[in-house]
Amino acid sequence: MPLLLNAADASAVEQAALRLKAGSLVGMPTETVYGLAADADNATAVHRIFDAKGRPADHPLIVHLAPGTGAQGWRDGVDHYARDVPAFALSLMQAFWPGPLTLILPRREGVAAVAAGGQDSVGLRCPAHPVAQALLAAAAAHGVSGVAAPSANRFGRVSPTTAAHVVEEFAALPDAELLILDGGACPVGIESTIVDATRSHPVLLRPGMISAAQIEAVCRQPLRERDQAAPRASGTLESHYAPRAKVRLMDAKPLQAALDVLGTDARHIAVYARSPIKAARGVQVRRMPSEATRSAQELFAVLRELDATGVRLIWVETPPEEPGWDGVRDRLVRAAA
């Protein structure tokens, strides 16, 4: 069973930093989701992430950097991993770091090759969560330049937003292999926005709670859509973030009509919807918040909760076609793929 420690205890953070230095895994809270962390420059440790998650070795990880001190305290970490930083990428760092934005940059030869999935690019992020920042700073003091940390769940499954979720995912791992810092529930709730910065223009690889409009305002140029030249990136597979139950996206009216027809035969279905829904007794119904930020905060936790009831289907009301919902919609479309 993994070792679970209260992140409010400074000695727990230091213990976790020493684990990273020694090549072990750490469950780390960030503002987006919990990450399964290892020293990004320790190939053996990074392989442990892939093995624990059951993740293909060519599916790259995101490297998390300590915030350091000053307005660009993360710059040493960036220079360690990236051989080139376009001007627009630097502007995005200055605007949104620390925060839920990942930038894919040309990778410096000889660093983080395993974490990068063998590509000549690397994803970098400076998280805003105070526990993540404290852990990264403590690890940096022990010579760990950056921490590879994909979501702390089995590959393709629903991402964890509490320490308890991480324990559920990796209960079979011994405490010598995995230490988890409990920093409470993640305030953002879905993974970071990912922007490809390996070329002269920004390309959106994964939407998140930092919007395309915000990115374009900083870059002062259009944010282009993903194309064939884009590098591989975390969380961009067609099917991802999936519970055991099959997820189906539906508009409110056909969803309600189907429940009316099924009646008590709908007990194998759970519903997550913004609209008021009437269902027969015994049907699990959860109300989705009408605000995108609140929906993002609870999305993965609700999917896990409904899945744990043993239902075979989870019907979700399709999110609005509005820019603020892009991140939530992306996760649900992939969960339903």
Q: Whose CA is closest to 112, among 40, 50, 197, 35? A: 40
Tens of pLDDT along the chain (337 residues)? 999 999 999 999 999 999 999 999 999 999 999 999 999 999 999 999 999 999 999 999 999 999 988 878 999 999 999 999 999 999 999 999 999 999 999 999 999 999 999 999 999 999 999 999 999 999 999 999 999 999 999 999 999 999 999 999 999 999 889 999 999 999 999 999 999 999 999 999 999 999 999 999 999 999 998 888 889 998 888 888 999 999 999 999 999 999 999 999 999 999 999 999 999 999 999 999 999 999 999 999 999 999 999 999 999 999 999 999 999 999 999 999 9
Instruction: State residue 165's pLDDT score.
Output: 98
Instruction: State residue 264's pLDDT score.
Output: 93
Give the whole-angstrom CA distance, residue 305 versus residue 301. 6
**C-beta of residue 312 within 8 angstroms of C-beta of residue 306:** no
Cross-strand bridge partners of residue 194: 102, 206
Give the domains, in start order, of the chain with CATH numbers. Answer: 3-225 (3.90.870.10), 246-336 (3.40.50)
Give the whole-angstrom CA distance, residue 12 versus residue 27. 12
Instruction: State residue 52's pLDDT score.
Output: 97
- 145: which residues sit within 8 A by CB, 6+ positions away? 40, 41, 77, 80, 81, 111
Instruction: State residue 47's pLDDT score.
Output: 98
Instruction: State residue 184's pLDDT score.
Output: 98
**C-beta of residue 304 within 8 angstroms of C-beta of residue 158:** yes
Instruction: State residue 210's pLDDT score.
Output: 97
Give the whole-angstrom CA distance, residue 270 versus residue 252. 14
